[in-house]
Structure 1
Amino acid sequence: MNNKNKRLVIPLLGAPGVKLTDTTLKENLSDPFVQFKTLYKIVERFNPDGIFPFMDLTVEAEALGLKIEFPENDNPSVREHPVKNRDALNEIKRKWKGVSERMITFIKVCEMMAKEFNILKGGYVIGPFTLAGELVGVNDLGINVIEDPDFVEEVVDFTTSVIFEYAKALLETGIDMIAVLEPTAVILSPQQFREFSMKHFKHLSSELKKPVIYHICGNTKHLIEDMGKSGAWGLSLDSAVDLKWASEIVPSDVRLIGNLDPVKVFLQGNPEMIYEKTKELLEKMRDVDNFILSSGCDIPLGTPLENIDAFMQAAKSFK
């Protein structure tokens, strides 16, 4: 997938593209044709080496029957976390009807991406531990990791099965890879991480038989060594992690993807600063063959398009 003579550039674009189609975030997250039109305009303007759909961490939770807060121009969020015991978990399991709700929206987006784009194409799924956090509530989940790990394991076993079903359907559209978004795993110790996230990621990665990316936001330095052993095709790392340092820990056949700060650089910076920051990162990673240039996480909605232009210009001009 990687041309040795070319540094791949795959920023995590989506939300800022609403300016190109004069649409709202909600319209893009609800209507596959609106979202694809925005993605098409993004690819046309910025010419990245790969594209993912819009990032949305509520898709699977909504399909499991959870109530969603859905503003016009902000990320949707889960309003309730009903799974406080095994009875509630069994009720959610009983009601689960397979790939449904807005999962279908994103499958349709991926179908159009696979058909129309000749660059790398990926899909997103939420991570098993993070989806467990949406069901149980992150605070309660963290307490149960210590007080009732068997219950947490039951929840994560179930969320893994839901995610597998959805990821499989996304890959069947013809896209190239899946990124597993597991931000809540950052709260875990290395031992807890291996038990409640990485084990399940490994299962997904081995069963899906396509490249799978592990994305965890925030400072994941305490998890990097294990992430490198997870079977991931690539690790998408946030700006808190020194990628050069990570390259000395992570096996060379695992891609390191990142990691300019989406807020302090992309959202709050200006084109000149972004151009320089991009060049600095590329220079720092010059000798790391398994590096893919990207943002540290999803680029925020209000990011000026000129800032993304500057990032791409710096990347394309770097030799």
Structure 2
Amino acid sequence: MSESMTSLERTLLTLDGKLPDRVPVDLHNFQMTARLMGATSFADFYRDGDAMAEGQIKAWERFGHDVLIVENGTAALAEACGVHVIYQDDAAPVAKEPAIKSLDDVDSLEVPDPYKVPVLAENLKATRRVVEAIGDRAFIIGRGDQGPFSLASEIRGMSDFMVDLALGEQPEKIHRLLDFCREVAYRYMLAQIEQGAHCTSIGDSPSGPDVISPRFYREYAYPHVKRLVDDLKAQGVRVAYHICGNSTPIIEEMVSTGATIVEIDQKADLRLSKAAAQGKTTLLGPVDPSGVLANGTPDDVMAKAREAIEILAPGGGFILGPGCALPDTTPDENIDALIDAAKRYGRYDRR
């Protein structure tokens, strides 16, 4: 079946609230690209902008997806802020030791220059190279790594940060840390756009209902994401916003941040999410990356993708994709099934 428009055209129409020829498809596949490149050490791969770019380009040439998310995991900004990060041979980097031992140390932190911190500079190089190669044909998201709440939990240490929240003894210092993290994310996200990316994005999963209460989300996470999105939109920047887990209790707030794209996963209530997002933002997701895409059959993928399309595509505002990052072990045939589902069932001229 021939395509009537490019991936870039298709995605831009979707984000504008219009109906393209079919639903676009995203692959949150930075871990798969390491496998496609035959990387013997993921630790080296995720610090090499040229290799990461080549992996993204090869994946696009193989699968033909519409949306690419260029990143190296969830710890780049944390490392740039002084968190000790472990680079693993067979998985994405992880934050290990926090940068501060107390909220009293917040004022000692400095906003990093993304062009001067090696890990951030390599990520920016990867985005720039992908844009140069295929940015006129596919929609490129240069991921801004972590949102304010997630970055704060890495800088302070997740357990200690949760205790800080629960005790509630220093709310002004918690907000000062979150302000700092917002400033860090803003500068890096702008740098991603400076590479030519069409959009940037954040993950802020520790702020979701699977980790903290909706009340804490509204008090601590939401105001800083809202300001971050507002500041970026004032610069003409599109933002995607991701929270893992069952985001249903806060989906209306996520939409009200003004993010161009709201990413949801398989735990979210699809009908409630669609109702909250209709005419306001574009939803991305929600096919289970581990249970279905990595470990299911192509038929399983096709069924779940079709279900998502039937609920989330009517009226537009939907990009089909995994609910979170794909494991590197995801079979190629399952990715083919995801994309085939959009071509079979996501055509608006058949709706």
Same fold (TM over 0.5): yes
Deviation at 1:9, TM superposition (A): 1.1
**Which of the residues 302, 326, 338 maps onto 1:275?**
302
Structure 1 CA distance for aligned equivalents of residues 73 and 44 of structure 2: 13
Q: Which residue of 1 aligns with 2:24?
A: 8
Q: Describe how 1:268-307 pairs up with structure 2 within 5 A.
A: 268-307=295-334
Q: Aligned partner of 2:197: which letter?
A: I
Q: Describe how 1:114-263 pairs up with structure 2 within 5 A.
A: 114-117=131-134, 118-125=137-144, 126-146=146-166, 147=168, 148-186=170-208, 187-209=211-233, 210-263=237-290
**Which of the residues 35, 46, 50 maps onto 1:19?**
35
**Which of the residues 98, 108, 113 maps onto 1:98?**
113
Structure 2 CA distance for aligned equivalents of residues 83 and 50 of structure 1: 36
| Contact 2:72–2:123 (CA under 8 A) maintained in structure 1 | no
Say which structure, 1 or 2, has more relative contact order (CA 8 Å, 6+ apart).
2
Structure 2 CA distance for aligned equivalents of residues 192 and 174 of structure 1: 35
| Unaligned 5+ runs, structure 1 | none
Q: Name which of structure 1's ranges 152-161 and 242-251 shifts more when overlaid on structure 2.
A: 242-251
Q: Report the 3-state secondary structure (helix = DSSP H, G, I; strand = E; otherwise coil) of the residue aligned with 1:188.
A: coil
Structure 1 CA distance for aligned equivalents of residues 173 and 181 of structure 2: 13
| Unaligned 5+ runs, structure 2 | 1-11
Q: Aligned partner of 2:221: which letter?
A: S
Q: Aligned partner of 2:173: which letter?
A: F
Q: Name which of structure 1's ranges 262-271 and 281-290 shifts more when overlaid on structure 2.
A: 281-290
Deviation at 1:285, TM superposition (A): 2.9
Q: Structure 1 residues 272, 254: CA separation in 2 closer, same or farther (over 3 Å shift)?
A: same
Q: Report the 3-state secondary structure (helix = DSSP H, G, I; strand = E; otherwise coil) of the residue aligned with 2:26.
A: coil
| Contact 2:23–2:313 (CA under 8 A) maintained in structure 1 | no
Q: Report the 3-state secondary structure (helix = DSSP H, G, I; strand = E; otherwise coil) of the residue aligned with 1:153.
A: helix
Deviation at 1:87, TM superposition (A): 4.2
Q: How far does the alpha carbon of each residue in 1:88-133 deviate from its partner, in whole angstroms, 9 at most, with x for none?
A: 323333xx54221211011111111221112111011211000000
Q: Structure 1 residues 251, 279: CA separation in 2 closer, same or farther (over 3 Å shift)?
A: closer
Structure 2 CA distance for aligned equivalents of residues 98 and 287 of structure 1: 42
Q: Aligned partner of 2:175: which letter?
A: E
Deviation at 1:306, TM superposition (A): 1.6
| Contact 1:62–1:101 (CA under 8 A) maintained in structure 2 | no
Query: TM-score, normalising length from structure 2?
Result: 0.86
Q: Aligned partner of 1:19: which letter?
A: R
| Contact 1:16–1:305 (CA under 8 A) maintained in structure 2 | no
Deviation at 1:284, TM superposition (A): 2.9
Q: Report the 3-state secondary structure (helix = DSSP H, G, I; strand = E; otherwise coil) of the residue aligned with 1:269.
A: coil
Deviation at 1:195, TM superposition (A): 2.9
Q: How far does the alpha carbon of each residue in 1:46-92 deviate from its partner, in whole angstroms, 9 at most, with x for none?
A: 11111011341110111112211111111211111242324432333
Q: Aligned partner of 1:72: which letter?
A: D
Residue 34 (str. 1) matches residue 51 (str. 2): yes
Structure 1 CA distance for aligned equivalents of residues 216 and 189 of structure 2: 24
Structure 2 CA distance for aligned equivalents of residues 31 and 286 of structure 1: 37
